[in-house]
Copies of this chain bind each other. A is one copy, B any other.
């Protein structure tokens, strides 16, 4: 089903590029135009079939039906502000950033057709070299509409993600950031700290357990540094929650309290089983 004529994707990395690929393969739009800070990324995206053409400038958004802001989180607001005066009135704008409160509070009042989106489909790999057409299939996409978000834009964006195979759920941007601090930013933070705790010489004596537990620490440092800072207060709160849980388990070990320690592990195992 063709939903859009022209789509402009700003930021042709893993998510932006994969989105272009999926849009084109499923013929959800007419033409996909890509823009990237690093020209080689856009060239690679075009070569990989993710975009039809590379935009010469930001003016390319003037005829767009959909603009996707897919840059690192710290650049999204800036690009939103820059395209604001250039887009048509009925153009829908989405972002795909990992944090939402600051972005939504800045862009929603200025662009009524803006819908904040967070497709939970990232990976520790990034860039146009790792594009996957089916990255959104079976994934969850969190939508964070604001009070003034246009109903038409919201329902179109919902359908859009559905066509790409993703389930959608709506949360306030504030709630999104609180939840993601615990379910995503905290695990990343711990993975980086864990691998830094293991001396290099010990790595060859590890197994899949360490590998899986630290997979997220292979993520891009600059990208994740910005995500952490963009959700700083919630992440600090999540860290406090974690430290309380860690201290409880550590005290049980220190105090030789076998019953307590096994009880905490049982509680954890029961909850983990819910994740499948």
Main secondary structure of the interface of A (DSSP, over half): helix
* Contact A239 to B250, CB < 8 A, known contacts A140-B207, A169-B205, A206-B120: yes
Question: Cα distance A266–B122 when bound, in Å?
Answer: 19
Alpha-carbon separation in the docked complex, A271 to B189 (Å): 15
Answer whether residue A79 sits at the interface, using C-beta atoms and an 8 A cutoff. no
Give Cα distance in the complex from A270 to B262, angstroms.
35
Residues of B within 8 A of A253 (CB): 228-229, 232, 235-236
A55 CA to B58 CA, complexed, in Å: 77
Q: Tell me how far the C-beta of A166 lies from the nearest C-beta in chain B, rounded to whole angstroms.
A: 11
Question: Given the complex, which residues of B lie within 8 Å of A235, measured CB to CB?
Answer: 253
Interface string of A156-186 (1 = CB under 8 A from B): 0000000000000101000000011011101
State which of B183, B198, B229 has its C-beta within 8 Å of the C-beta of A256: B229
Annotate A258-276 by CB proximity to B: 1 below 8 A, 0 otherwise.
1001101111110111111
**CB-CB contacts below 8 Å: A203-219 with B:** 203-207, 209-219
Select which of B180, B225, B245 is within 8 A of A262 by beta carbon: B225
What's the minimum C-beta distance from A204 to chain B, rounded to whole angstroms? Answer: 8
Q: Name the distance in Å between A171's Cβ and chain B's nearest Cβ.
A: 8
Minimal beta-carbon separation of A98 from chain B (angstroms): 11
Copies in the complex: 2
Task: Name which residue of chain B comes closest to A247, CB basis.
Answer: B193
A121 within 8 A of B: yes
Query: Which of B192, B203, B207, B267 touches A120 (beta carbons < 8 Å)?
Result: B207
Distance of A241 Cα from B192 Cα, bound (Å): 13
> Does chain B have a CB within 8 A of A56?
no
Which of A202, A206, A220, A267 has the largest count of B CB atoms less than 10 A from its CB?
A206
Chain B residues positioned under 8 Å from A256 (CB to CB): 229, 232
A219–B122 CA distance with the chains assembled, in angstroms = 26
A26 is an interface residue with CB less than 8 A from chain B: no
Q: Which of B122, B228, B229, B258 contacts A207 (CB 8 A)?
A: B122
Residue of chain B at shortest CB distance from A261: B225
Given the known A-B contacts A194-B187, A199-B182, are A224 and B271 also in contact in the complex, defined by CB atoms under 8 Å?
A: no
The smallest beta-carbon distance between A239 and chain B, in angstroms, is 6
Are A265 and B207 in contact (CB-based, < 8 A)? no
5 A-B residue pairs with Cβ-Cβ distance under 8 Å, sorted by A, are: A121-B207, A140-B205, A193-B242, A220-B269, A221-B262
Rank and list the top 8 A-B pairs by shortest CB-CB distance, nearest first: A221-B265, A120-B207, A183-B206, A187-B213, A192-B268, A225-B262, A193-B246, A221-B266
